[in-house]
Structure 1
Amino acid sequence: MKIIIAALTGLIMVVTVFAMEKTVTPNSVNVKQTIDSKTDYIVLGMGCFWGAEKRMGELSGVIDVESGYAGGDHADAGYQDILNFEHALRAGKTAGRNHAEVVKVTFDPAQVALEHVLARFWESHNPTQGDRQGNDIGSNYRSAVYYHDENQKTLALTTRKIYQQALATAGYGQITTEILPLKNYITAEEYHQNYLQKNPDGYCGLGGTGVKYPAPDQHIIRGDTSSVPASPSPQSLDGKNLNFDQQLVIFESENCEFCAQFDRDILAHWQADIPMVATKNTNPPADWTLDKPLFAAPTIVLFREGKEVVRYTGYTGEKENFWQWLGFQMLTPEQQKIAFQQGTERPFTASNLDEKRPGRFVDPITGATLFFSKTKFNSGTGWPSFFEPVEGSVTYHEDHSGYMQRIEVRSASSGIHLGHVFDDGPPPSYKRYCINGNVLKFIPD
């Protein structure tokens, strides 16, 4: 248990005990410590502090961003303490006020105005969600501005009012951000500092709303007479230019690592039948409707006839999960049983069993080529058979189901079950890829 010794006016020892069992205790600091007269700081809560640290650290004029905890009743706590306390609060087993995950942003007012810092804060998360941010739920993930002087308080309240008007125009609800004097700030454990630099694939729930902070005259005013142009807000999509019958829209945000990963993993290789388009504007295409507001980036929404049908929220690199989600929108129940439950169609029932035209057989979800028709042969088994797949198009897995030992074949692009491979095929490979025809789509040359 850590004891914080605070020097007040004399050598008075103050011992503060956190009313629960301690597990990890970070270094506690006094944020009223003497700072360089040329710098200032403000403490902000934006949900998970990993993403908040990265977002605020990218702002020109920001000197340092430190992850920490603040706003709770206890003067000393660690990460696990805060999680335990939150669980107890939600279970009704305790009372009090938990800390929020925050970042202490130290900046040079000569290089960046506090209004600019707060504008980045408002834009970088969704401040209307209450005790949550993205997939992170709990009062420890609340939106907050903790000020240390009256000027900061005034500007925080003013910018909240300005941004509330912008959010209301875009169809969002009331801002839930608490604006309070800073108390009980604690530096987070070392492994939380610069987390996304150390772990580039780490989860970041910050997506923002896509609504820009509407600074006066489209500028963010500094303390002096200079100004910094604000980034123009991306235009919303025009529904007239999209596929009204069926359209996928990726709602992304600026500086979003997982949006970039989705683009690399999925969008860069898009061959599926459903048209896909990406936007950084969180409004639906003109005259189209979303079922509910967006709260994480990226969010992929399937529209049919201009209305949201289903969405996939918060891609974090799980490609197979995304393709399975899309597969349930594209495939028939019979195809789904084969693709996702390792089912098998009845022999001699596949529509493309006797297909002999030059062309290619592709994954029915991703559109990736699996087999060329020149490798197809009549095995007499009742299933489409091939002696060779396209290089890198399939993966192999041991299958011990049905008291048999077989090698399962799956699509490398979507992970769906295709069939099995056997060693009784024709030359030159002497392999027989026995594939369910109902999960193959044929595209003639």
Structure 2
Amino acid sequence: MKQKHRWPLIALGLSTLLQAGLDSQAAQAQDLTRDPLRSGPPDPADESIVLGMGCFWGAEKRLSELPGVIDVESGYANGEIEGTYDTILAHERIRRRGASDKRNHAEVVKVRFDPRRITLEQVLVKFWESHDPTQGDRQGNDVGSNYRSAIYTNSPEQTAVAERMRAHYQAALTQAGRGTITTEIAPLSVYVRAEEEHQDYLRKNPHGYCGLGGTGIAYPGTTSDIDKAAALPSPAPLDGATLAQARQLVVFEAEDCGACQHFKAEVLDHWQSPVAVARSLSFSAPTGWTLDKPLFATPTLVLFEDGREVARYTGYDGDSGRFWAWLGLQILTPEQRRVAFEQGTERAFTGSLLDEKRPGTFVDPITGAPLFRSETKFDSGSGWPSFFNPVDGAITFHEDVSHGMRRVEVRSASSGIHLGHVFEDGPPPTKRRYCINSRVLTFVPDL
């Protein structure tokens, strides 16, 4: 935006307008005390098995929730190198360059359970349903042989059960049109407990990444080999006919996903975006709609247009600005993106909202959050929509020294997009002029 008058910006009060950025929130204290059931020496009657399901953080949490499971420990297994997190990651890079053929460890969890309360079959049902065992050396966004699907057994009897269940689950996947199971089933040869920082990771970091999505195909349990209660039916997919056909955002979640709950609390519970949103516990596309590829992690946000996936956003780490920027890049026009993300400016007197005088609210085009009310709009003669006051908390202020000028940029507090600039030549009572681009405003008339 050009200044209407080149008044000294010292009078603008930069020290009171400029804000350092988003406020950091103090992490809530977590009770990390272990359940007494999960402590103490092992009972001789306990059994254990070692399972690889990709990232061990999510695997540990999923399997620890099974009744009858005594303890779940993160570790590394069946490799030929030193068993440390950094060594394993470095060795995988070496393998990719072809500089070593030594076998890498898999990230695994060691599951100790009471066979009087839960059977091995019930533990393995959770294993099969909680990840995608058809992906080879990867699990979702985590790629490498250290993320392979694996069952490392402690006896021939465990091996027989695992192989039988693999065949049983393969039949269900084949019937559903899914691929071939790549899960390695082998005797446990090496096991190393992972570093303390990786133990109970999602209890310590409830908003952390949990890259488990499953296939959405329930294990076909029978009374002869499994308690039917352990094979819960998969949630039904959304009905595509009830959703917005032109553009629909679907949030694919899991019931025990801390990052999903975090996203809901920070974003979904305050949703005002013009984009229709729906939540799904199914890992399948809405009926009649199509996904480009299987879901790998939760939450995964998929943008559909005319029933087909056009973009996706995986995971949530508390950075809502990053999510809104992603959504804006999908839904804004090229002209809007130039203003919003490149600090562009529309030509004076060309904005579609310059002469908008109806009662209503000017909102963020991505989040739908209110920015300015129509009663604060005035004709400044500058060629851009002008306001003398924003909605409380709607904008943030940032120093701008581009183009040889010293100005105060204003951005949307909800999405972080560039809106325009503020000058001290407006009318009472604020005497400020918020000079805003039409292309980054949406007008919502009062009913």
TM-score bin, normalised by smaller chain: 0.7 to 0.9
CA offsets 1:197-237 (integer angstroms, 9 cap, x no match): 222333222222333222126x9735xxxx63543321122
| Residues 1:185 and 2:191 aligned together | yes
The whole-number CA distance in structure 1 between the counterparts of 2:86 and 2:243 is 48
Query: What letter is aligned with 2:54?
Result: G
Which residue of the partner structure matches residue 102 of structure 1?
Answer: 108
CA offsets 1:75-133 (integer angstroms, 9 cap, x no match): x4222121221111111111121101111111111111111111111122221211112
CA offsets 1:220-256 (integer angstroms, 9 cap, x no match): 735xxxx635433211222221222222222222312
Contact kept? 1:400, 1:406, Cα under 8 Å: yes
The whole-number CA distance in structure 2 between the counterparts of 1:380 and 1:417 is 22
Instruction: Structure 2 unaligned segments of length 5 or more: list them.
Output: 1-40
Which residue of the partner structure matches residue 348 of structure 1?
Answer: 349
Contact kept? 2:209, 2:316, Cα under 8 Å: no
Contact kept? 1:237, 1:285, Cα under 8 Å: yes
Which of residues 100, 118, 135 is equivalent to 1:129? Answer: 135
The whole-number CA distance in structure 2 between the counterparts of 1:441 and 1:82 is 50
CA shift, 1:180, in A, is 0.6
Contact kept? 1:207, 1:256, Cα under 8 Å: no
Which residue of the partner structure matches residue 252 of structure 1?
Answer: 253
Query: What letter is aligned with 1:436?
Result: N
200 and 237 in structure 1: CA distance in 2 versus 1, 3 angstrom threshold: closer
Query: What letter is aligned with 2:298?
Result: A
CA offsets 1:127-168 (integer angstroms, 9 cap, x no match): 121111222111111111000112211111122222223333
CA offsets 1:157-186 (integer angstroms, 9 cap, x no match): 122222223333444211111111001111
The whole-number CA distance in structure 1 between the counterparts of 2:397 and 2:218 is 48
Query: What letter is aligned with 2:212?
Result: L
The whole-number CA distance in structure 2 between the counterparts of 1:169 and 1:301 is 26
Query: What letter is aligned with 2:112?
Result: T
CA offsets 1:298-353 (integer angstroms, 9 cap, x no match): 22222222222222233333322222222222211111100111101111111111
The whole-number CA distance in structure 1 between the counterparts of 2:174 and 2:262 is 31
Contact kept? 2:210, 2:297, Cα under 8 Å: no
Instruction: Structure 1 unaligned segments of length 5 or more: list them.
Output: 1-33
70 and 293 in structure 1: CA distance in 2 versus 1, 3 angstrom threshold: same
Which residue of the partner structure matches residue 87 of structure 1?
Answer: 93
Within 5 Å, give how 1:310-349 maps onto structure 2. 310-349=311-350
Which residue of the partner structure matches residue 428 of structure 2?
Answer: 427
Which residue of the partner structure matches residue 20 of structure 1?
Answer: none
Stretches of 4+ moved more than 6 A in 1? Answer: none
| Residues 1:44 and 2:45 aligned together | no
- CA RMSD of the aligned region, Å? 1.9
CA shift, 1:291, in A, is 2.0
Contact kept? 1:220, 1:230, Cα under 8 Å: no
Which residue of the partner structure matches residue 147 of structure 2?
Answer: 141
CA shift, 1:436, in A, is 0.7
Which residue of the partner structure matches residue 208 of structure 1?
Answer: 214
Which residue of the partner structure matches residue 406 of structure 1?
Answer: 407
170 and 402 in structure 1: CA distance in 2 versus 1, 3 angstrom threshold: farther
CA offsets 1:8-61 (integer angstroms, 9 cap, x no match): xxxxxxxxxxxxxxxxxxxxxxxxxx9522211110111111121111111111
The whole-number CA distance in structure 1 between the counterparts of 2:196 and 2:62 is 19
Which residue of the partner structure matches residue 67 of structure 1?
Answer: 74
CA offsets 1:373-427 (integer angstroms, 9 cap, x no match): 1111111111111111111211222222112222211111111111112222222
Which residue of the partner structure matches residue 373 of structure 2?
Answer: 372
Higher relative contact order (CA 8 A, sep 6+): 2
TM-score normalised over the length of structure 2: 0.86
The whole-number CA distance in structure 1 between the counterparts of 2:430 and 2:221 is 67
Contact kept? 1:172, 1:293, Cα under 8 Å: no
Within 5 Å, give how 1:267-282 maps onto structure 2. 267-282=268-283
Which residue of the partner structure matches residue 29 of structure 1?
Answer: none
Which of residues 226, 230, 252 is equivalent to 1:221? Answer: 226
302 and 220 in structure 1: CA distance in 2 versus 1, 3 angstrom threshold: farther
Q: How many correspondences in the alignment? A: 406
> Identity rate of aligned residues, in percent?
61
The whole-number CA distance in structure 2 between the counterparts of 1:397 and 1:239 is 43
The whole-number CA distance in structure 2 between the counterparts of 1:252 and 1:202 is 14
Query: What letter is aligned with 1:114?
Result: L
Contact kept? 1:338, 1:417, Cα under 8 Å: yes
Query: What letter is aligned with 1:310?
Result: A
The whole-number CA distance in structure 1 between the counterparts of 2:291 and 2:44 is 49
Which residue of the partner structure matches residue 61 of structure 2?
Answer: 54
The whole-number CA distance in structure 2 between the counterparts of 1:409 and 1:288 is 40
Which residue of the partner structure matches residue 301 of structure 1?
Answer: 302
Which of residues 187, 198, 206 is equivalent to 2:204? Answer: 198
Query: What letter is aligned with 2:53?
Result: M
Contact kept? 1:220, 1:229, Cα under 8 Å: no
